[in-house]
Amino acid sequence: MRKEERYKGVLGWFQANVPVAETELHYSNPYELLVAVILSAQCTDKRVNMITPALFEAFPTPEVMAVSSPEVVYEYIKSVSYPNNKAKHLVGMAKMLVEEFKGVVPSDIKELQKLPGVGRKTANVIASVVYDKPAMAVDTHVFRVSNRIGLTVNSKTPLETEKELTKHIPKSLIPIAHHWLILHGRYVCTARNPKCESCGLKPWCNYFIHQK
């Protein structure tokens, strides 16, 4: 199967069967999403959503968080993974937002990556979810699913996967395609025991075709 054919089939199936796909993190503005995405590194969205209501109530704006301390923030986030580091990142991020960006979450990926706790994946999430930019955030789900289906071949790093996906997916679909792949990896194409029999992508899936 040609790569173009595989992409066309996979994207077509998602468009027809999953017309709405969005982040499962709860947020009501760009600052809250940025906080939630930083917290979600190596942690489930479900766990993050459990702690953010109290966190957002205590620190409703970057200005409020910027004058707090990592020790205070830690108390609100101690049940997530790596809470000490994340508490430091959140306070540092809030300070830089206030001092360099007037409290406004930037839309530029390079600018976003200047913020403490914000790597390329997080920057891409913010750019695509908040600003609808054609940025493809590659997490473990996107990385695994893309390789397994055959959208990417032998990509060794998230950046290689990102470049390959953005090369073949139409720009207008990249923001939603990011969520399609994440949700598919989370609920269908799981790391262990993928649910191949109930998966609609079987006709185009490299893994399934070679399983037979």
* Residue 150, φ and ψ in degrees, nearest 5: 110, 15
**3-state SS class at 132:** coil
Question: Is 43 annotated as a binding-site member?
Answer: no
Name the pLDDT band for 153 (thresholds 50, 70, 90): confident
| CATH number of this structure's domain 3-22+135-211, picked from the four choices 3.40.50.10140, 2.120.10.80, 3.30.1520.10, 1.10.1670.10 | 1.10.1670.10
| Residue 23: pLDDT over 80 | yes
Contact predicate 136/162, CB 8 Å: yes
Q: Which CATH architecture has domain 30-129?
A: Orthogonal Bundle (1.10)
Tell me if residue 139 is catalytic: yes
| Tens digits of residue pLDDT in 87-137 | 999 999 999 999 999 999 999 999 999 999 999 999 999 999 999 999 999
Q: Where in the chain are the domains?
A: 3-22+135-211, 30-129
* Residue 6 pLDDT: 96
Length of the chain: 212
Tell me if residue 132 is catalytic: no
**3-state SS class at 105:** coil
Instruction: Please determine whether the domains at 3-22+135-211 and 30-129 fall in the same fold group of CATH.
Output: no
Beta-carbon count within 10 A of 68 CB: 17
Of the candidates 86, 88, 95, 139, the residue annotated as catalytic is 139
Question: Is 199 annotated as a binding-site member?
Answer: yes
Of the candidates 86, 88, 95, 121, the residue annotated as catalytic is 121
Question: Is 189 annotated as a binding-site member?
Answer: yes
